A = this chain, B = another copy of it.
């Protein structure tokens, strides 16, 4: 399977949102059913405005949904978008699939066209 450059751009954008320790922690807590700003703050020892910021980024990426409390509208609840996680998971699984790795071939250099075995991993360099 071949992956187009445009897909790598899309994938990179998604990875960029996820490549943040605190955002991953937030996602991890949301996975467990935790959902309001204040509680996330208690668990992660973060200021509410910072949590707001990260949740905003996650929301714009389509990973997180928002809902106000029906009884007291001051509370805002966050939850994960299952569909987004499903597509995300398959996209990662496809791109980083080890089975997708083709045997190496030299196209430039002196050994042009030779198919080579996997590189032996060396300690130094």
Q: Which residues of A contact B (CB under 8 A)?
A: 2-3, 5, 8-9, 11-12, 15-16, 18-21, 24-25, 28, 30-36, 38-39, 65-67, 69-72, 75, 77-82, 85-86, 88-89, 92-93, 95-98, 100-111, 116, 118-122, 125
User: How many angstroms between the C-alpha atoms of A85 and B101 in the bound complex?
Assistant: 9
Say how many copies of this protein the assembly contains: 2
CB closest chain-B residue, reference A89: B96
In the complex, besides A24-B95, A31-B102, 12 extra interface pairs with C-beta distance below 8 angstroms are: A8-B21, A8-B24, A8-B25, A12-B24, A18-B19, A35-B105, A36-B108, A38-B108, A39-B107, A67-B119, A77-B106, A89-B93
Asked whether, in the complex, the Cβ of A18 is within 8 Å of the Cβ of B15, the reply is yes
Specify which of A72, A75, A108, A120 lies most central, judged by the most chain B CB atoms within 10 Å of its CB: A108
Q: Chain A contact residues: over half helix, strand or loop, or mixed?
A: mixed
Nearest B residue (CB) for A71: B110
- B34 A107 Cβ-Cβ under 8 A: yes
Partner of A119, one of B79, B109, B119, B122: B79
